Structure 1
Amino acid sequence: MADVVVVGAGPNGLTAAVILARAGLTVEVFEAEATPGGGSRTAELTLPGYWHDVCAGAHPMALASPVFRAFDLAAHGVELLAPEVSYAHPLDGAVAGLAWRDLERTVDGLGRDGAAWRRLFAPLLRHWPDVVDVAMSDLRRVPSGLATAIRFGLRVLEQGSPLWDIRFREQVAPALLTGVATHAIIPPRAITAAGAGLLLATLAHAGGWVFPRGGSQAIPNALIAELERLGGRVHTGHRVDSLEEFSEFSEFSGVRAILLDLVPAELLRIAGHRLPRRYANRLRHFRYGGAACKVDFALSGPVPWQVEDCALAGTVHVIGTRAEAMAAEHAVAMGRHAERPYVLSIQPGVVDPTRAPAGGHTFYTYAHVPNGSTRDVSADVIAQVERFAPGFRDLIVAQNVRTAAEMPAHNANYIGGDISAGAMTLRQFAFRPAPRWNPYATPLPGVYLCSSATPPGPGVHGMNGLHAARHALRDRFAIHADPLDLLRAPANQLH
């Protein structure tokens, strides 16, 4: 008989499951899709032998997340590969910003703005674990590295305000930073976008944006292997339609905690009638944000970037200047398609030859579009890449398109194609999914949310699962162990 049920086998649900199992509890995980992993799945989406990550590709948090550092992905068979260039940002005129893992090499390539880049990031890089601690917290406690938190906060305020150009004199450095901030799928001159951009850009120099060999699927696979070693189970192809499935009338009548790796709309779907009206109304008013249309390509060769060093980058932000990125994201925020959309592109073959047959390359892209968009924007994506890599279209041997409107059919948490599990506004960053001191506990006894719709928000880092598991352990089982200690403990010290 299970002590705990987890609904959703994404990185957060699986992290919570492993922590709870390491605390000596019996855990059952239910996943609607045929393959577990949520946003970290890998599949042959174009042609046989071409392995594409279904959502998350490059992993800035794989080396930095407190969860993954404690769990030690490498010790569980996940080989993380780091490109020399974490991300690149081409501009017209055959120039590009390159975020090398080496901060000084990045500085050397930014001309007159090199020193400004160093002043912006060197203090954060020296104390990057404290930056991560601030950004990955539950936003309900004083950070351990207070001085670093202040430095980070002041930089966020600067880059999220009209002062965002005050440091820079040329176009390349601000474009390089804006490309990262635009991951948030909101206009990049916003507090939350600036925070995300500064965090990710710092991590680009603190080990890099890595790729798991073979695909992102390696991360959930490692968590599942550990869960199963501890006696837990993952049931795939099992869509939970009601929490009544785990009521006193079922085989799971002994369940004492249910953790949901689900967004508010999904919680309402399976338990809306049981929720207090006020809380349910808050969930109904939870806003879903800008979306992504994903276009995957099988290529006969590497992308022919005009700036050759872009071929060393695992991630390339394709949009142009800071002003162009701002205009494109403003259009999406207003519900319009940008004429030249922001395109986040991933080329894992830079470090991982297992992703495609010999001579071939996988290349996958995410174009930002309005929520619920049914438009196939592959032509716009090709035009944007061709702009900075003439001859790109001649290399395409197959492609696969998943519009924003089609996203929920493959991951129910992606409402309207919102891969961030909720608009990253300042209010929804601090109060995800509703204004409560404990954002993980629902009004239903023993039922917790652990998805990216809770703090600290989206990303493959497992921290939402960790925070929710901490509350469940303490409140339902009177276990006060630090979840990170549970993840670190050698097998012979568990239970």
Structure 2
Amino acid sequence: MHPMGVASPFFRAFDLARHGVEMLQPDVAYAHPLDGGQAGLAWRDLDRTADGLGRDGRAWRALLGPLVRRWQELAGLAMSDFRHLTLPPTAMARLGLRVLEQGSALWDARFRDVVAPALLTGVAAHALAPPRALVPAGVGLVLATLGHAVGWPLPRGGSQTITDALARDLERHGGRIVTGHRVQHLAELPPARAIVLNIGPRELLRIAGDRVPARYARWLRAFRYGSGACKVDFALSEPVPWTAAGCTLAGTVHLGGAREEIVAAERAVAAGRHAERPFVLAVQPGVVDPGRAPRGHHTLSVYAHVPHNSSLDCSAAVIAQIERFAPGFGDTVVAHHVITAAQQQVHNPNYIGGNIVTGALTPWRTLMRPVPRWDPYTTPIPGAYLCSAATPPGPGVHGMAGVHVARRVLRDRFGIHGDPLEFVRHSAR
């Protein structure tokens, strides 16, 4: 699911639809089942969601309503470089006070039942960190807001279609993509006025450790990675038999139980222990895109949170957690494929230890990633820039790290002071 993709200033300028990418909207952005057959359902419509949350409907509306009404300001802040903020003070306060509430011991103050808090905590858990903290609270509020403002869509045919659209556009403008070759040293690259590196701190040290000062190298080595994710892809003979029927309408389902249970599981994982009932994030693309599986079959793509660099095959724990809310799920499994947290970085060298958010999402690591300097994108290597999820604004399919780097590259290396997004819009015409 890609809520930040449709909210991102870059992808709005790029215009995915114009490039052949169709974003499909589930009726329910995300769902959160609980024991006993209950489930929180986040519909695109804020009021419909609130109406389904009983006594906490008013609290949900009061928490998210002001953010939904000004969602573009919120998205702009969340996808900024965290250095040049142009939001009015009222907008900063609107979000800041809510982050302080949901990231502290006050997080239950406005809620009276269990469904709404669990629904919000499942979203905060996307930060891959214990959710009662400032950054996970911010992540949860931003993603929950976007669920009501722009939805949590899935691209028809899968996320690869977004990558393919970007690659086609690059080639249309004369670019060339070389695959199957791992760069061993920066010196292998051809001479260029600018080199933009979509890699994390550890990879930069590997290919250019001899080109950076000792102090900068120490900063890179000090970059801390958080918990890991174990990925399981299921081929199913039928849809997941959720006890709570509303879950069948959701593109994304969060499995973790009540708020307190998610907190306990995420704390265990952060401390290096496997949770007996791990938090599981499940995406069911067939809800909107049945063509993702052969006729009469279905797919389910799952991430389970596990300790950093875990080599455990999490499939048994994942199946048990799904069975908890969908009895009989195991009987629908035709086949499954596992990528452990330790194996993640084989597929993507930025995913150190299976940390798919490329760095621990603490307040310091969010604002000062990857190193503590005013400009996080430049490096001590002349003409070399970083633009991965290890730089602001961090993880997510939004393309904004590249936009922030492009602004600096155009200014510093080419003497161009225009807005990169304007060039993207012009190119898309």
Q: 1:130–1:149: 8 Å Cα contact kept in structure 2?
A: no
State the 1:207 CA deviation.
Answer: 2.0
Corresponding letter in the other structure for 1:83: P
- Correspondent of 1:313 among 250, 253, 267: 250
Structure 2 residue 108 is the aligned partner of structure 1 residue 171: no
Separation of aligned partners in 2, 1:437 and 1:386: 48
- The answer to whether the aligner puts 1:280 opposite 2:217 as a matched pair is yes
Q: Is the 8 A contact 2:14 2:428 kept in 1?
A: no
Distance in 2 of aligned mates of 1:152 and 1:425: 17
Calculate the TM-score normalised by the size of structure 2: 0.99
Give me the whole-angstrom Cα distance separating, in 2, the residues matched to 1:260 and 1:349: 35
Give the Cα–Cα distance (whole angstroms) in 2 for the partners of residues 69 and 144 of structure 1.
19
Distance in 1 between the 2:233 and 2:388 partners? 26
Q: Does 1:226 align with 2:169?
A: yes
Report how many aligned residue pairs link the two structures.
Answer: 429
Deviation, structure 1 residue 147 = 2.1
Is the counterpart of residue 421 in structure 1 residue 358 in structure 2? yes
Letter in 1 for 2:408: H
Pick the aligned partner of 2:62 from 109, 113, 119.
119
- Partners of 1:491 and 1:368 in 2: how far apart? 39
Instruction: Say yes or no: does 1:213 pair with 2:159.
Output: no
Per the alignment, residue 88 of structure 1 pairs with: 31
CA distance in 1, matches of 2:121, 2:37: 19
Conserved 8 A contact 1:168-1:174: yes
1:307 and 1:315 map into 2 onto residues whose CA distance is 14
Query: Contact (CA 8 Å) 1:143, 1:149: kept in 2 or not?
Result: no
- Report whether the alignment pairs 1:130 with 2:73: yes
1:466 partnered with 2:403: yes
User: Equivalent residue for 2:286?
Assistant: 349
Shift of 1:148: 2.0
Partner of residue 186, structure 1: 129
Q: Quick one: structure 1 residues 365 and 410, their matched pair in 2 at CA, closer, same or farther if it must change by over 3 Å?
A: same
Q: Equivalent of 2:260, from 308, 316, 323?
A: 323
Q: Deviations over 1:111-152 (max 9, x none)?
A: 000000000111001110000011111000123344222201
CA distance in 1, matches of 2:291, 2:404: 35
Distance apart, 1:61 and its partner CA: 1.1
| Deviation of the 1:153 alpha carbon | 1.1
SS at match of 1:199: helix
User: 2:53 matched to which residue of 1?
Assistant: 110
Provide the C-alpha distance between the structure 2 equivalents of 1:96 and 1:135, rounded to a whole number of angstroms: 28
Say whether residues 1:386 and 2:351 are aligned partners.
no
- Change in 2 beyond 3 A, CA 1:491/1:183: closer
Normalising by structure 1, we get a TM-score of: 0.86
SS in 2 for 1:433: coil
Matched residue type, 1:101? R
CA deviations over 1:417-443 (Å, ceiling 9, x no partner): 000011111110010000010000001
What is the one-letter code of the residue matched to 2:224? R
Q: C-alpha separation between the residues in 1 aligned to 2:428 and 2:261?
A: 52
* Post-superposition offset of 1:491: 5.5
**Structure 1 Cα separation of the partners of residues 293 and 318 of structure 2:** 21
CA contact 1:186–1:329 (8 Å) conserved in 2? yes
Could you tell me which residue of structure 2 aligns to residue 377 of structure 1?
314
CA distance 1:213–1:108, shift in 2 (3 Å): same
Which of the pair is proportionally richer in helix?
Answer: 2
Give, in whole Å, the separation in 2 of the partners of 1:97 and 1:309.
Answer: 9
1:297–1:396 contact (8 Å) kept in structure 2:
yes
Aligned to 2:276: 339
Letter in 1 for 2:246: D
Tell me, yes or no, if the aligned pair for 2:31 and 2:40 is still in contact at 8 Å.
Answer: yes
Alpha-carbon distance in 1 for matches of 2:332, 2:87: 50
Tell me which amino acid in the other structure corresponds to 1:108: D
Q: Which amino acid aligns with 2:71?
A: W
Q: Which of these residues, 96, 101, 113, is aligned with residue 158 of structure 1?
A: 101
Asked if the contact 2:280–2:318 (Cα under 8 Å) also holds between the matched residues in 1, the reply is yes
What runs of 5+ residues in structure 1 fail to find an aligned partner?
1-57, 247-251
Code of the residue aligned with 1:425 in structure 2: it is: T
Q: Which runs of 5+ in 2 are unaligned?
A: none
1:298 is the counterpart of 2:298: no
Deviations 1:227-252 (A, max 9, x none): 11111111111211100113xxxxx2
How far residue 220 of structure 1 moved from its aligned partner, in angstroms, is 1.1
Percent identity between the two aligned chains: 65
Deviation at 1:327, TM superposition (A): 0.1
Q: How far off its partner does 1:479 sit?
A: 1.0
